[in-house]
Structure 1
Amino acid sequence: MKRIAVIMFVATFVISGFAQSLKKEEVMIKNLIQTAYLDGTQNIGDMAKIDAGFHPDFRMQVLEKDGSLSNVDLGGWKQMAKDNLEKGILPRPEGKQVSVNILNIDIEKYASSVKMEYILEGKTVYIDYLQLYKFADGWKIVNKTYYTVGD
């Protein structure tokens, strides 16, 4: 009986430590989404934040209306933010900023997938799927696909 109690104590300790570790990784991923994705590309246009949170080999895969697939690399992704800066869309004024509602974060050691609602002016516009890897210097967004709500 004493042996079972010890095994259960150790198992509880291990599971608790694992859960805390996952929670820490989840917080780091949420912070990355806030800084690199929202501040970097959607609300401010901060190129340094984009560079810090997106891997140089990042790709956004776009399903075109004709069923073909196109890719936007990091340079193209940053150019969209730069264009929005030039057009005066960025930085977005208070009340018109993009926010996200994270629906799911799946983490397996050094790989993660995030599903989230992209919300603009109170309406869900896209469902975004981000894939991340954890590198020596932290989590980086490596891929994005999305669904346009209403399609």
Structure 2
Amino acid sequence: MKLFSITMVAFTLLFSSFSRSEAVTGEEYQAVVDTAYMYFNGAAKGDQELLAKAFDQEFGHVKMIRVDSDTKEETIRTVPLKEFSGYFKNATKDKWEANILSVDIVDNKMAMVKMDFHTPKTHYVDYLVMYKRQNAWRIVTKTFVAKNKL
């Protein structure tokens, strides 16, 4: 009888906590992934509406490494996401491909997405930090490295 009671308690705890966390995590995971792809598709299509949905244009920014062509000195350049969105006014004629490499969600309020994407000339790896505000995931920080393809 004692073994049966312990088994029932363990079974109840295992499945009750598993089912609750799985449902919430699955929803949030999909929303985070959708936001990352919304950014990618907005940039590829030159779709300002998609970019405005993906980026927190009020508070967000992009950080990128810049190398001075004369001195070769590296600096970090910061650009507001609203300005960065403006770089994508037209749809690309090239084929762009993106893959999500990892997603880390903390307390269903903050997320980090590692995205790998390719254009014909450049390979990018982005880190996208998102916050969930007003029931929507938005990218607040985008950092990336770019490597020219030979």
Short-chain TM bin = 0.7 to 0.9
Q: Which of the two has higher C-alpha Rg?
A: 2
Q: Which moved more, 1:7-16 or 1:98-107?
A: 7-16
- 1 CA distance for matches of 2:95 and 2:83? 22
Q: Which residue of 1 aligns with 2:113?
A: 114
Percent sequence identity over aligned pairs: 23
Q: Which has the higher contact order (CA 8 A, sep 6+)?
A: 2
Q: Which residue of 1 aligns with 2:70?
A: none
How many correspondences in the alignment? 139
Aligned residue for 1:62, secondary structure, equals strand
Q: CA RMSD in A?
A: 2.1
1:22 aligned to which of 25, 28, 44: 25
Q: Which residue of 2 aligns with 1:79?
A: 86
Q: Structure 2: 5+ residue runs without aligned partners?
A: 68-72
Q: Which residue of 2 aligns with 1:48?
A: 49
Offset from partner CA, 1:18-72 (integer Å, 9 cap, x none): 123212211111111222x12212x111111111121121111012222221101
Aligned residue for 1:81, secondary structure, equals coil
Q: Which residue of 2 aligns with 1:101?
A: 99
Q: Structure 1: 5+ residue runs without aligned partners?
A: 86-90
Query: Could you state the TM-score of these two structures normalised by the residue count of structure 2?
Result: 0.81
1:63 aligned to which of 62, 65, 78: 65
Query: Could you state the TM-score of these two structures normalised by the residue count of structure 1?
Result: 0.81
Aligned residue for 1:57, secondary structure, equals coil
